[in-house]
Structure 1
Amino acid sequence: MSDDILFEQRGAAGFVTLNRPKALNALNHGMVTALARQLTAWAGDDGIRHVVICGEGEKAFCAGGDIRSIYDARMAGETGLADFFRDEYLLNAQIKSYPKPYVSLIDGIVMGGGVGVSVHGSHRVGTENTMFAMPETGIGFFPDVGGTWFLPRMPKATGTYCAMSAGRLKQGDALETGVLTHATSRRCLPALKAALEETDDIDAALNAFHVDPEPSDLMARADLIEGIFTAPTVAEVMRRLDSCEDPWGQKVAAGIRSKSPTSVHLAFEQMQRGARLDFNGCMRLEYRIVTKILEGHDFFEGVRALLVDKDQAPKWQPDRLDQIDETVLAPYFEEPASGDLPLK
């Protein structure tokens, strides 16, 4: 088994450690399939009463999926690029329906794929170093790994704001929006892990190490965010941001305009549809979107600009928000030729 992900039974708990600290614990395909297999085994093991997942190192719980490997595979002419996402989305669904408590200990960066292996579990504990984001629109992608489910269910359209703008949340923001269920501090983590080895009462153990976070800056603007991001179209969202008296509005508008226009529109439509779907329906929708994205330009251009050439100057196609209409978006929501994600 690869050392990229480690599994250990400690007392009553099955501990998972994401073990790629130099890569900010980014998920690769092997880690995804190994975690799925181990969760299946532990689900049927009476000696495991709950699962605890954490990341190695102090910088990140998990900064996302290993998108550079997807880019490299495309450049090498490889096929089957959707296989990683298929298995990742099946893992997200497995975590969502897991029959035992699933406790995520989040310390540092949690983005993209790292959100997918944490936010769908029963307990999400974040330290003062938590930095949550779904930054996908900035790389020509979309907020996947179950973002279609949890983002529209965040209060006062804060999830739509996060999806379109790649807005970052700190510990207090994440707790008040429901991304986290509990807050603690980094210094408490060793003792908390020891407590989780033996306890049968997860909530009592987590509450014993509770630390009040700083007030949420995001929720202080929640009414403003709701007034903007409940607009019926992307164009109207941008109009409301542009006319916002708070300088924050102009900053957010500029940020959104720097993202892939296709991705911004996809994220907006994804939020509208996701609010009406059950979890498995959301994951099937995401698989449809990703299959189409992998056939296109913007994702690979975004990875090139961010991680390969690192010029931070992606050339989006199309390159303006007003160039996207229903004819552009519709194919992303159609069943792919290979079929939908195989969920019951």
Structure 2
Amino acid sequence: MSKDQLDSVLVSVHNGVGRLSLNRPRQINALSHPMVGLLQDALDRWRADPEVRVVVLTGEGERGFCAGGDIRAIYDDARAGTDTSLEFWAHEYRLNATLATYPKPVVAFMAGIVMGGGVGLAVHASHRVVREDSVVAMPEVGIGFTPDVGGLFVLSRSPGQVGTHLTLTGDRMVAADALYAGFADHFIPAARWEQALAALETTDPGAALRALSTEPDEPCELQPQREWIDACYAADRIEDILGSLAAHPDERARATAERLRSLSPTALKVSLRALRAAAGDEDVSQTLQRDLRVSARSLAGHDFPEGIRAQVIDRDRTPRWLPAELGEVTDADVEAYFADLGDRELQIPQPSSPTTKES
């Protein structure tokens, strides 16, 4: 591993706090395979280390905690017909599972942009902190993909049909929305973050964070929209959801129908199927195992690479989805995304002592 790769995660221990800081600020701390390994190694070392009482996750720079994974590398992998990304995802999803079941408190400070793989790091922590500039999203459907990193486990448990709305639109959440949807636990203004970090060295994390928490200044945008969201997204077929959105008197619902019609029909159907399945999962490891199956099939499919091309590579914003119409995506097409991967199935070691998140 090169020095740059080693420096991509800053690792330190001070007064009982093990701190892991993502350190690729120019890339908004986009998650690379070496970073996943460094994070996993530190967490494995600290699991039984008496010198580490609490783990803290932060991101360097002013732009955000983590903008997600390396999309260009995934595109190159898909174009080459190789499956290097599958190995990355397997390691990333094991890391997500580690965070979800870690035997010590994990505090994620979700500054700025927190998307995709960044959500996978933060949302499974036992304590999730947002602030004024936090922007949280799982925007994968916009590039012909499906929300992964265990995000659907959380989305399927959001109030009413809010999680369905967020899954299918990829809409961004401000701090109040993240709290409402179950992606964060505390709002602490940026001016108090250094105080919060210092308090973790001497005080129980839950008590320390609650003492500094307050209500966000910016109001929640999702809660006032529950009437049309719950009414329109209850169905288990995308066609029915679109029909409800298009016929609803609220103009926001009708505008959402237009947005969804521009997205990958396959990604919409697969994402809804995966979200409904996640609602029945007993723990996030089941969701993550399904995530790897869907990710593997998306990598080998047409729409995911095409979505990256249109949004990230060529930036022409005109993806050519295949199939292009919802009616052309059969139930068998969707179910194929969820088939067993055989010897490539995600293997997640069972934790020695599972924990529950403190209030």
Q: Which residue of 2 aligns with 1:86?
A: 90
- Does 1:120 find its partner at 2:124? yes
Using the TM superposition, give the Cα deviation of residue 76 of structure 1 relative to its aligned residue in structure 2, in angstroms: 4.5
Supply the distance in 2 between the matched residues of 1:62 and 1:211 (Cα, whole angstroms): 24
- TM normalised by structure 2 equals 0.92
Q: Which residue of 1 aligns with 2:311?
A: 306
Structure 1 residues 160 and 111, CA gap change in structure 2 (3 angstroms): same
User: In the alignment, is the contact (CA less than 8 A) between 2:155 and 2:181 conserved in 1?
Assistant: no
1:210 counterpart letter in structure 2:
S
Q: Which residue of 2 aligns with 1:264?
A: 268
Q: Structure 1, residues 222-246: CA drift from partner, whole Å, max 9, x if none?
A: 2321111111311111011001111
Supply the distance in 1 between the matched residues of 2:264 and 2:31 (Cα, whole angstroms): 23
Q: Structure 1, residues 5-25: CA drift from partner, whole Å, max 9, x if none?
A: 111112111111111111111
Supply the distance in 2 between the matched residues of 1:120 and 1:35 (Cα, whole angstroms): 14
Q: Tell me the SS of whatever aligns to 1:169.
A: coil
Using the TM superposition, give the Cα deviation of residue 61 of structure 1 relative to its aligned residue in structure 2, in angstroms: 0.9
User: In the alignment, is the contact (CA less than 8 A) between 1:49 and 1:200 conserved in 2?
Assistant: no
Supply the distance in 2 between the matched residues of 1:327 and 1:118 (Cα, whole angstroms): 34
**Which one of the candidate residues 229, 234, 246 is aligned to 1:230?**
234
- Does 1:209 find its partner at 2:215? no
- Does 1:133 find its partner at 2:130? no
**Which one of the candidate residues 149, 159, 162 is aligned to 2:163?**
159
Gap runs ≥5 in structure 1: none
2:195 counterpart letter in structure 1:
A
Using the TM superposition, give the Cα deviation of residue 66 of structure 1 relative to its aligned residue in structure 2, in angstroms: 1.0
Using the TM superposition, give the Cα deviation of residue 208 of structure 1 relative to its aligned residue in structure 2, in angstroms: 2.4
- TM normalised by structure 1 equals 0.96
- Does 1:339 find its partner at 2:325? no
Gap runs ≥5 in structure 2: 351-359
1:37 counterpart letter in structure 2:
D
User: In the alignment, is the contact (CA less than 8 A) between 1:158 and 1:225 conserved in 2?
Assistant: yes
- Does 1:95 find its partner at 2:99? yes
Using the TM superposition, give the Cα deviation of residue 155 of structure 1 relative to its aligned residue in structure 2, in angstroms: 0.8
User: In the alignment, is the contact (CA less than 8 A) between 2:81 and 2:300 conserved in 1?
Assistant: no
Supply the distance in 2 between the matched residues of 1:200 and 1:192 (Cα, whole angstroms): 10
Q: Which residue of 2 aligns with 1:330?
A: 335
Name which of structure 1's ranges 198-207 and 124-133 shifts more when overlaid on structure 2: 198-207
Supply the distance in 2 between the matched residues of 1:96 and 1:113 (Cα, whole angstroms): 14
Q: Structure 1, residues 79-135: CA drift from partner, whole Å, max 9, x if none?
A: 433001111111111110000000000111111000000101100000011111110
Q: Structure 1, residues 42-77: CA drift from partner, whole Å, max 9, x if none?
A: 111111001010111121111111121121233355
Using the TM superposition, give the Cα deviation of residue 209 of structure 1 relative to its aligned residue in structure 2, in angstroms: 1.8
User: In the alignment, is the contact (CA less than 8 A) between 1:156 and 1:223 conserved in 2?
Assistant: no
2:158 counterpart letter in structure 1:
M
Q: Which residue of 2 aligns with 1:180?
A: 184
Supply the distance in 2 between the matched residues of 1:50 and 1:223 (Cα, whole angstroms): 40
Q: Tell me the SS of whatever aligns to 2:84.
A: coil
Q: Which residue of 2 aligns with 1:319?
A: 324
Q: Which residue of 2 aligns with 1:41?
A: 45
Q: Tell me the SS of whatever aligns to 2:58.
A: strand
Q: Which residue of 1 aligns with 2:357?
A: none
Name which of structure 1's ranges 87-96 and 226-235 shifts more when overlaid on structure 2: 226-235
Corresponding pairs, count: 343
Please report the RMSD computed on the Cα atoms of aligned residues, expressed in angstroms: 1.4
Q: Structure 1, residues 222-277: CA drift from partner, whole Å, max 9, x if none?
A: 23211111113111110110011111112211221222111111110011111111
Q: Structure 1, residues 164-185: CA drift from partner, whole Å, max 9, x if none?
A: 1111111111112221100011
Structure 1 residues 78 and 267, CA gap change in structure 2 (3 angstroms): closer
**Which one of the candidate residues 298, 302, 308 is aligned to 1:297?**
302
Supply the distance in 1 between the matched residues of 2:15 and 2:247 (Cα, whole angstroms): 57
Supply the distance in 2 between the matched residues of 1:163 and 1:108 (Cα, whole angstroms): 20
Supply the distance in 2 between the matched residues of 1:192 and 1:18 (Cα, whole angstroms): 19
Q: Which residue of 2 aligns with 1:29?
A: 33
Supply the distance in 1 between the matched residues of 2:202 and 2:304 (Cα, whole angstroms): 44
Supply the distance in 1 between the matched residues of 2:152 and 2:213 (Cα, whole angstroms): 29
